[in-house]
Amino acid sequence: MLNFDLTDSPIEADELLESQQSRGENIAGKLLLLIVALLMCIGIIVVYSSGAGWAEQKFSDQQYFLWRQLSFAVAGMVLIVAVGNMDYHFFRKISKLLLFVSIGLLAALLVLKFVGIIHGAARWLGFGPLKFQASDLAKYAIIFHFSRLLGEKRAYIKDLHTGYYPMLILLLAVVALVALEPNFSTASLIAIIGFTLMFIGGIRIKHLLATGSLLIPIAAVFAIAAPYRVARLVSFGGGENQLSYQVRQALLGLGNGGLFGLGIGASKQRELYLPLSYNDFVFVIIGEEYGFIGALVILTLFAAFFVCGIIIAKHAPDIFGRYLASGISIAIALFAFINIAVASHLLPTTGVALPFISYGGTALLFNSLGVGILISISRYKKKAEVLAKAQALIEAKGGDA
């Protein structure tokens, strides 16, 4: 039986440890890609099942949502592969540009709403089928730029004026513009992502708590300033209004599923009983058709996604990659948690989609961008090691000559 004493060879021990860490990170990247592919496939099936009736009513085509969701999923996988083969430091270089472009687009939406060109919520940019939500771009722009700033300000990150205030101003600018669309739920989640990144980046807790003590009451007043947001709170508390019907239907759907579900395509709520069954409340259809087991599988996949993302962040080759991977993992997991909590009546109704599963192209493509970056971070260290070994080999041969 062979016995290796690593204490006699510290260099070999270090190399073995690095090899194990790199292997674990590489496995996390591959597992992450598998999880996302599974979530997208589930999304295609569930969107078709839950949206066929609504598609027939709105577009006279039961397969309308199916083909669009399939197209989004294919485009998302192509984007993941393309970005996964890029150097993720590219997003560090353009982070400031993306942030100010996103702020400009958010401001432009409010101007268009003010002059009457846009009516209702000012969230979408583009024409016809080529539209996207500016808040999705803003969310990732915040993650990119904060990851850059947390690395650059490392020496004075705890300083109030040079470290905290500049980041706080940028975050509040984005959050305020998104909230005024109005899109209070997304604005709140962007704020949580930004403050979480600042917390793990070393910002003093007392600064964050002081800011929270000021912003939470303001957010509470803003939340009850609009009648539709008050209606959501009333329905969540058990009051009777139009939204309480949606809540009851969601709970009925989850209850109907039992342990193993009614089967594929057997949902009752999809028969035009539950509004947005293919989008905000798609988790209800999963619970009804696949039961508690199916719902548990979805929860497990998102939990595994988060763990893989954190492993990639832990072994990232630099500080920027560490915060970038953390921010993307937190953002996708947070949106998934909020959507599932709303569908399960654990939180008031919001307009948050379930990542990779809910119908829609904007969120799916931006989240695919995030996954591609995670894959790039997981592969970057391996590429750097290969290049370093190749360079060392070239230098060694040159020395022998």
What residue spans define the domains of the chain? 18-395
Query: How would residue 245 be classed by pLDDT, with cut points 50, 70 and 90?
Result: confident
Say if residues 184 and 222 touch (Cβ distance below 8 Å).
yes
List the single range of 13-27, 85-99, 236-250, 281-295 with lowest mean pLDDT: 13-27
- pLDDT of residue 212 exceeding 90, the answer is yes
Mean pLDDT of 224-250: 75
Say if residues 194 and 142 touch (Cβ distance below 8 Å).
yes
Kindly write down the DSSP assignment for every residue of 96-150, as one continuous string: HHHHHHHHHHHHHHHHHHHTTSS-S---EEEETTEEEEHHHHHHHHHHHHHHHHH
- pLDDT of residue 153 exceeding 70, the answer is yes
How much is the pLDDT for 22? Answer: 54
- pLDDT of residue 211 exceeding 80, the answer is yes
Burial class (CB in 10 A: 0-12, 13-18, 19+), 214: exposed
Give me 99's structure tokens. 């942030």
Residue 120, CA distances (Å) to 80, 101, 139, 362, 384 in order: 34, 23, 22, 19, 50
List pLDDT tens digits, range 315-365: 999 999 999 999 999 999 999 999 999 999 888 888 899 999 999 888 999
Which residues, 6 or more positions from 149, have their beta carbon under 8 angstroms from its beta carbon? 166, 167
- pLDDT of residue 385 exceeding 60, the answer is no
Which residues, 6 or more positions from 39, have their beta carbon under 8 angstroms from its beta carbon? 298, 301, 302, 305, 355, 356, 357
How much is the pLDDT for 203? Answer: 94
How much is the pLDDT for 391? Answer: 65
Please give the mean pLDDT across all residues of the chain.
87
Closest to 200 (Cα-Cα) out of 319, 309, 92, 311: 319
- pLDDT of residue 7 exceeding 50, the answer is no
Measure the CA–CA gap between 18 and 29, rounded to whole angstroms.
16
How much is the pLDDT for 23? Answer: 58
How much is the pLDDT for 345? Answer: 86
